[in-house]
Amino acid sequence: MSTSPSVGVADDLPTGLTDLKRPPSDWLFAVVVLALTGWAFWRFGDAMDVYEQAILLAAAPSVIAMGWFWRPVRLLLLASGLATWGAAALYLRTTDDWGADLAQGEQIFWLKYFLSSQSAILWMSVLFFMSTVFYWIGLLSRSATGTRLGSRIAWAGVFMAVTGTLVRWFESHQIAPDIGHIPVSNLYEVFVLFAWLTTAFWLYYEDRFEKMGQSLGSLGAFVMLVVSAAVGFLLWYAVVRGASEIQPLVPALQSWWMKLHVPANFIGYGTFAMSAMVAFAYLIKLRAGETQWWKLAPLWLVGVVLCFEPIVFRAKPGAEQMVGTYWAIYFGVSALIVAGIIAARRKIAAQLPDFEVLDDVMYKAIAVGFAFFTIATILGAFWAAEAWGGYWSWDPKETWALIVWLNYAAWLHMRLMKGLRGEFAAWWALGGLLVTSFAFLGVNMFLSGLHSYGQL
């Protein structure tokens, strides 16, 4: 078994984060964040309850720390904030009883085609698809330019996603005073969250490992596949289910716990998905020289099973033909992609990082995901106590969340205590995506319980 490189905490931080003397740009960023926080209290403080004020207060140092820890995120936050402010200003050209006139979203050019929440999320979808394509072009053609384009386009997709999320938050508050809420309340909104969080974490790892002299660029082709798969679901869900419309929250979701529990949960889902795609790349590299088809069959079978999952999505009355056609094409394209990757495994494997690096990325992704998933589970228990009067009720969603937690707890235990590495660890991480997918979607499709408000 190979041993992953050991990276200390201080070594894993960006240059300058552990320095006592910070560059002026860090302090300027902190001043800007604190000034905006103060303005938000002055402008909107009367509309916030005590929990929202506490979250805003906690957000300021968190954003400063994030900007100091990973400096590229500063430009993302600045650009997304300015774009959101621009969208709000365009909406506020004319006002109705509640504040903004949302009809402007279909009349003003910049809103209709770029800055309304639906337009921005559509741009996100296109950009993530394009990023996936360019990453694969870079990998197959051994072109650093293609890989760099894939990375830059992924950044653009994250920018549009964050902008769309913030604008949607603003839009929800303009419909009526009691409808506004953070956009993480239904499958449409959390799929947007999943797509950009997964991409953002990938971009972070890509940047960090490059600074340590280890290029991960080719690995982006695999990670962005799962993001594109999520976007494929998102587009279907928006068109067929009409899920892009902003809806009032059901009583159980009218809680400030949602603002904390759901994002933490989806950091876990996103990093678990990322680790699974890294594991897939690991197994492709490991099987690069394999010629016996029956030894490749398990890898192909797991890939096809993951591709087959969408076929079981149920249709609403009157939409069966569209759903059947869409998912048949989706499955066919996905299965061909998996088969093509296995067929081109020798060429692909030559461009992938070393086994030790792949193993290290897989471990780090699972460790981050497990930490946030643990926090989300604890927060969910507090939320359940507030909403339903008990911390745990063995609801199907809760049960499967526990199964996911135990799966990755066991993986980390075996790695840290028993030195788990290599092929078995990769298969386990890849299989974990099946467990996570069922907890994420399967429970909503096949089981009923206290979380049934999330059904497809």
Q: What is the pLDDT of residues 268-286, one digit of tens each?
A: 999 999 999 999 999 999 9
What CA–CA distance (Å, rounded) separates 125 from 361? 25
Please answer whether residues 1 and 418 qualify as being in contact, where contact means their C-beta atoms are separated by less than 8 angstroms: no
Q: Within 10 Å of residue 455's Cβ, how many Cβ atoms? A: 13
What CA–CA distance (Å, rounded) separates 299 from 280? 8
Please answer whether residues 315 and 398 qualify as being in contact, where contact means their C-beta atoms are separated by less than 8 angstroms: no
Encoding tokens for residue 231? 């976007």
Per-residue pLDDT tens for 141-187?
Answer: 998 999 999 999 999 999 999 999 999 998 888 887 677 788 988 88
Amino acid at 444: N
Sign of the Cα torsion 180, 186, 192, 193 reads positive
Integer-rounded Cα radius of gyration of the chain? 22
The 3-state secondary structure of the chain, one letter per residue: CCCCCCCCCCCCCCCCCCCCCCCHHHHHHHHHHHHHHHHHHHHHHHHCCHHHHHHHHHHHHHHHHHHHHCCHHHHHHHHHHHHHHHHHHHHCCCCCCCCCCHHHHHCCHHHHHHHCHHHHHHHHHHHHHHHHHHHHHHHHCCCHHHHHHHHHHHHHHHHHHHHHHHHHHHHHHHHCCCCCCCCCCCHHHHHHHHHHHHHHHHHHHHHHHHHCCCCCHHHHHHHHHHHHHHHHHHHHHHHHCCCCCCCCCCHHHCCCCHHHHHHHHHHHHHHHHHHHHHHHHHHHHHCCCCCCHHHHHHHHHHHHHHHHHHHHCCCCCCCHHHHHHHHHHHHHHHHHHHHHHHHCHHHHHCCCCCHHHHHHHHHHHHHHHHHHHHHHHHHHHHHHHHHHCCCCCCCHHHHHHHHHHHHHHHHHHHHHHHCCCHHHHHHHHHHHHHHHHHHHHHHHHHCCCCCHHHCC
* Low-confidence residues in the chain, pLDDT < 50: 1-18, 96-98, 314-317, 319
**What are φ and ψ of residue 180, in 5° steps?**
-55, 135
Q: What is the CA angle 45-47-53, rounded to 5?
A: 50
Look at residue 315 in the predicted model and tell me its pLDDT.
47
Look at residue 193 in the predicted model and tell me its pLDDT.
96
Look at residue 100 in the predicted model and tell me its pLDDT.
67
What CA–CA distance (Å, rounded) separates 273 from 437? 9
What CA–CA distance (Å, rounded) separates 79 from 71? 14
Look at residue 3 in the predicted model and tell me its pLDDT.
44
Sequence-distant (≥ 6) Cβ neighbours of residue 314 within 8 angstroms: 445, 456
Chain mean pLDDT for the chain? 84
Per-residue pLDDT tens for 61-85?
Answer: 999 999 999 999 999 999 999 999 8
Q: Within 10 Å of residue 453's Cβ, how many Cβ atoms? A: 13
- In terms of Cβ atoms closer than 10 Å to its own Cβ (0-12, 13-18, 19+), residue 6 is exposed
Look at residue 383 in the predicted model and tell me its pLDDT.
86
Encoding tokens for residue 333? 């394209």
pTM for this predicted structure: 0.89
